Structure 1
């Protein structure tokens, strides 16, 4: 329940600062999580990227301003952070489908997006198979790329690094390093505690020595909610993440911890099938849990 309240506090923060430069990091701090986790939760719960939500809210408010007799288009553009009429016109048309100069005409149709409000909604009859495990820190080896910026902009570089790893033999090399106890390839989205950047790893858990270009990282000790769904595709992983955040987490007695997300791929080649999805979690305080 507490994190639902925090998400609503983040929405209130956006509304209070809607005409200012909004930092994803600052919004996420209000919700008590990293920028990546906030954008991820927001997109899963709303179906809309955070940046698009902010754009829609600004363009909805801009309509009322444009209908005001004493506000010019450039005045409204500047109010919502656009330094040129062209950029403002582009953003306005992307939301309303018309140029801002047409708003005052009688009979013109525009859209209205009101502020979001997060609530717990019970959905679905389909079960989620999971277990809770506390694991000690462990070493992973593989290749990585830095990720930063908006959550929705991260897909392309991730796809590119997979193509690179498959074409140059890295995936084959990593599979050869897996011990018998290893479950498969690990996709690790690891936060940098000191900055608002992320490192995306294609890796395996291994204690063996490595050579460049492979690198090693330590996944710290966490409690994990591990969701099993053998044979699912990468696309279905996103739907699972949606259900975990919107259905399971609000009533679980846990909240998101600011650790890495891990997807475990099948040990043998099965066209990218994913066996498990690991979410770092921590227990709610007793007072928070009693509200659930």
Structure 2
């Protein structure tokens, strides 16, 4: 029995008791580790501490119930261990930077935390292989909003920016005449390695100037395109993260190298296909 078996047993215990009181010692005992070793190995295996995992799982389960029945929100929060609705609201907003009501009204994808299955994650890491396409793009003019982030916090910040954008219906406001089921929103990473700065732009493509917005132009050139596997609203963000990890591995053995420039993603939130295209400027390696 290896560490995956031990930690997965603890995860099953946590999942079975999400509506009950859970303490670290009981989780460690189930896994067969001391408290100290359980904390260390759990974080190494999942990327987060047991406490954060429990909190995020409880918030996520309530979020799923919110979409089914708005009136059940209050009861669900109590059922999953929040001692007051105000505490749940605070925890939800701290996690997603939108309120439960905004999430409910706009029906947008959140980075929810489903039960971790370490065996499945291991298989997905080994089998995830979206097929790359090399394409030529003409310049693309984008109008929207620029957000400041950092290399350290970007994995959490970018989903937060999207939550605010979608819940605020900013794409609709940028292009009010567009069909929302066909409108593509763009997310662009603006990286400056020399200054160690990271900014993220979200907006829409437009041939005409949109007042009171930030504007960037994606330059014409050669790009490699990856399409993320189809997911659902609960697993979409995690699928994007896993696809980016695969892309970074792909570059190590491919015939192409990244160029300095905009790496971007585009997708249609209201298509409900929960798949996006990721594009990166490249050039072929010289032989």
Which category describes the TM-score, using the shorter chain as reference length? 0.3 to 0.5
**Larger Rg belongs to:** 1
User: Please, what TM-score do these two structures have when normalized by structure 2?
Assistant: 0.48
User: Please, what TM-score do these two structures have when normalized by structure 1?
Assistant: 0.47
Identify the structure with bigger relative contact order (alpha carbons < 8 Å, sequence gap 6+): 1
